[in-house]
Amino acid sequence: MIDTLNHLPRPDADAAELADRFGDLAPPLNARQAALESARCLYCYDAPCINACPSEIDIPSFIRNINQENVQGAAQKILSANILGGSCARVCPTEILCQQACVRNNAQECAPVLIGLLQRYAVDNAQFSEHPFKRAPASGKRIAVVGAGPAGLSCAHRLALHGHEVVIFEAREKAGGLNEYGIAKYKLVDDFAQRELEFLLQVGGIEIRHGHRLGVDLSLSDLHQQFDSVFLAVGLAASRQLGLADEDGPGMLAATDYIRELRQAEDLSQLPLADRCIVLGAGNTAIDMAVQMSKLGAREVNLVYRRGFEAMGATGHEQDIAKANQVRLLTWAQPQQVLLNDQGQVCGMRFARTCLKHGRLQTTGETFELPADAIFKAIGQAFDGAALSDPLARELQRQGERIWVDAQMRTSIPGIYAGGDCTALDQDLTVQAVQHGKLAAEAIHSHLTLSVEVA
């Protein structure tokens, strides 16, 4: 249980009702719906949707397969480009990626082809008679992957296909990273992250060692010596701080900590619930946190952001989800003070009104207060510097706080690669992390193959 919220009550609804509230956000297409939707695709020769897909899935091709009732062929095309295509179909912001680029996304057509739902339909309904991927002959090479999130799993799978042996070192008791611990429960239901993991591991050649954390019982120096290559997919493990007094008091918590607890809970009725809560932030994590508190039964949920709606990291689609779940979105307000009751517990927050002046964010001098039984911080994740504390790790070139990599995911140290949220490339999206892992695996394979040829 989350200690800092132990003083809060539990939801009034029972476990069965709460489980129903957290059902699938976007129900899957049935066969008839998939056939009709796939018929809308124009199968463009120079399809803009492919260019908009970070994992380079051949979208028109897999949709044509669906239309021709070749679901297995569609799924294989998807998974060949993105081994986590099932989860990406559920969590990708398709409204700003492939579906935004769809040629049918215009005023005359009214709506783009529902690419995300079609991708989910293909992956969910493919019934392979045997595993669709076969490993190449054993190469004799061993690669260490640090982190079993989307980037690490994608890299490990592609390396295993090339015949290499992969050892994944994972700090937590379950693999999956954000798909397992950080995505809203209503987006990935029915333990999908673990089912997808089981499918991925069936390719063979991948070992996962749990309970190992870089900077604690793993050092980059040792991994570099013991393995032929190393891929770092350590993500962003720390939460950013507000820099205010009492921000670690009872009732204050990082949103990611609560989401992790919620996703692992077998009985949602045992979670602490704030009748009135504040969520600080403007990204998808903030939306996920606010919506889930509302679904648990919070009477008042305020999501507060220091800038305007147009600057929010959460897409318009995500904002609409929040509004549909009675979340109030407040903008142009900056946290100023945590308010505590006589017991030292959170009872609200004072905010300063903000505005843009000459392009810079400033306070106006006005303040207001919101009552709250709990405040959740979703103001961004930070790199855990302790992970790179050994002498070799400290030599890694950084870009800001994150690890610098080139276009082939190579770090400044030969033989060490990195990808996913711990690098400064792209947005922090699952689909982009998957692509990073795939690119790194190909770069590692090319380097190892070249080294063998030279030898």
Show Cβ contacts of residue 36 under 8 Å, excluding neighbours closer than 6 positions. none
Confidence of residue 451 (pLDDT cuts 50, 70, 90): low
- The predicted model gives 318-323 an average pLDDT of 96
Please list the residue range(s) of the chain that carry CATH number 3.50.50.60.
142-237+383-454, 239-381
pLDDT tens per residue, range 139-173: 999 999 999 999 999 999 999 999 999 999 999 99
Between 129 and 103, whose confidence is greater?
A: 103
Q: Is the pLDDT of residue 427 over 80?
A: no
Question: 142-237+383-454 architecture in CATH?
Answer: 3-Layer(bba) Sandwich (3.50)
The pLDDT-based confidence of 383 (bands split at 50, 70, 90) is confident
pLDDT of res. 454: 53
How high does pLDDT run on average in the chain? 94
**61, pLDDT greater than 90:** yes
Query: Taking 60 as the threshold, does the pLDDT of residue 1 lie above it?
Result: no
Per-residue pLDDT reduced to its tens digit, 278-307: 999 999 999 999 999 999 999 999 999 999
pLDDT-above-90 percentage for the chain: 87
pLDDT of residue 45: 87
Mean pLDDT of all residues in 423-427: 79
What is the arithmetic mean of pLDDT over 427-437?
Answer: 91
The highest-level CATH class for domain 239-381 is: alpha beta
Q: Is the pLDDT of residue 60 over 70?
A: yes
Cβ–Cβ under 8 Å, residues 224 and 392: yes
For residue 9, what is the DSSP state?
Answer: -
Whole-angstrom distance, CA of residue 122 vs CA of residue 119:
5
Beta bridge partners of 147: none
CA–centroid distance for 91 within its chain: 8
* Mean predicted confidence (pLDDT) in 102-113: 90
pLDDT digits (tens, 9 = 90+) for 112-144: 999 999 999 999 999 888 889 999 999 999 999
pLDDT score recorded for residue 11: 96
Predicted confidence at residue 425, as pLDDT, reads: 79
Burial 412-437 (b: 16+ CB within 10 A, else e): ebebbbbbbbbbebeebbbbbbbbbb
Which residues have a Cβ under 8 Å from the Cβ of 10 and sit 6 or more positions away? 269, 270, 271, 272, 273
- Tens-place pLDDT, residues 4-53: 999 999 999 999 999 999 999 988 999 999 999 999 999 998 999 999 99
pLDDT at site 9: 95
In the chain, CATH 1.10.1060.10 sits at: 31-125
pLDDT score, position 3: 86
Residue 453: predicted pLDDT: 58
Topology of domain 31-125 in CATH is Fumarate Reductase Iron-sulfur Protein; Chain B, domain 2 (1.10.1060)
Residue 455 has pLDDT above 60, yes or no: no
332: left (phi over 0), alpha (psi -120 to 50) or beta: left
Question: Mean pLDDT across the stretch 312-336?
Answer: 96
**In the predicted model, what is the mean pLDDT of residues 374-389?**
89
Q: Which of 71, 93, 39, 13 is nearest to 313 (CA)?
A: 93
| pLDDT number for residue 452 | 62
